[in-house]
Amino acid sequence: MSRKLKSLIKVTLGGYVTYAAISIYKGEESFYKNLIMPIVHLLDPEQAHNAAIFLSKYRLVPKLSYSDPKSLKVKVFGIEFPNPVGVAAGFDKNAKAVLGLKDMGFGFVEIGSVTPNPQTGNEKPRVFRLSEDAAVINRYGFNSDGHEEVLKRIVKIRNENKYVIIGVNLGKNKTSEDAVGDYVQGINKFGTCADYLVINISSPNTPGLRNMQNKEILKQLLTASLEARNNLKIENKPPLLLKLAPDLNYEEMKDIAELLKNKSCRVDGLVISNTTIDRPPHLISNNKEETGGLSGKPLKEKSTQMIYEMRRLTDLPIIGVGGISNGTDAYEKIKAGATLIQIYTSMIYEGPPIVTKIKRELDCLLTKDGFNNIADAVGK
């Protein structure tokens, strides 16, 4: 009886391990969502984040086999994107996981925010899951390895001729007395190796940062940033984008839009949006009162509405971010005016297969509405 019981346990474990291996290899959505991610969530949120970076850094997550259809290929900022689904800044802050994220099927990877000098960010704990709301609150505070270390990693990828579209999201050091200078440094440092650059003045976790969205301060910042970009000693200068907060009111959005019409301030595109400091009354999770930026499902409608408004106020290309967890969410942002989209929080709850899920569903929605390509649906 003892031998039979041991044999049964071995067979059962062997069968489970085989099933798990096949499910991981195939990127089974339900397996990740219902089993893998709940186990991952036994870890502290920041520990889980670090584990995800480790797995991606060493490319331990199997490369997904989904082949991007032609309908998802899109050209914007002069760049050919294999698909419009990118990973938002904040996940891979220091360019450690770029190739692993590409393996998951992302069309592009935005790293950062990167600050000129290394800094540890805010005190822990600083990340909180709101599982019942499919959301996260973070107050990382631009924890960064600094320009030099991050640059080395990107240059290494470039030297190995491993093609991946990399955006670099730029931030300022917390104690910097020259915020504009911090961004100019970032442009000079990464301008020759990044496919695009993002000026991030919309994180709620660095004191005073969002004040730079004020019209007069923003004018000074954009003038200096564009001048630095235009003076780069390279032929193909990277597009420069501006990332905005979802908590701007309509008048503030109009002020920014008017400013962007000036040649000296006209960036190449917008990233909409960052996390929100708003706390919708329908939140039910225990962590809802934590200080920091709220992301995930509760941000979805707010960011989509802002995309709609800013597309009509500026007519600039937009990367849409906030609350995307399926193809329908992505399609709503595209029809509101986004050409590309990014995810982060939904990956925390559903794992890597969500990338393929969004792409597959998005392709079906485009076909259903008679669009041959993403570009045909933008702003419709």
From 56, 113, 203, 295, the catalytic residue = 203
Q: How many CA atoms, within 13 angstroms, populate the side-chain half-sphere of residue 73?
A: 6
Angle, alpha carbons 200-305-166 (nearest 5°) = 35
In angstroms, the CA 340 to CA 107 distance is 9
Helix (H) or strand (E) holding 152: helix 147-159
Q: Of the candidates 164, 168, 167, 24, which has an alpha carbon nearest to the alpha carbon of residue 99?
A: 164
d(CA 14, CA 321): 41
Q: Are 109 and 91 in contact (CB under 8 A)?
A: no
- Indicate if 67 belongs to the active site: no
CA atoms within 13 A on the CB side of 326: 7
The residue assigned the tokens 């994107």 is: 81
Alpha carbon of residue 98 to chain centroid: 12
- 235 is written with which tokens? 């032929």
Distance from C-alpha of 58 to C-alpha of 55, rounded to nearest angstrom = 6
93 contacts 143 by C-beta, under 8 angstroms = yes
Task: Report residue 220 as tokens.
Answer: 């000074």
Give the containing element (helix H, strand E) for 126: none
The set of catalytic residues is 203
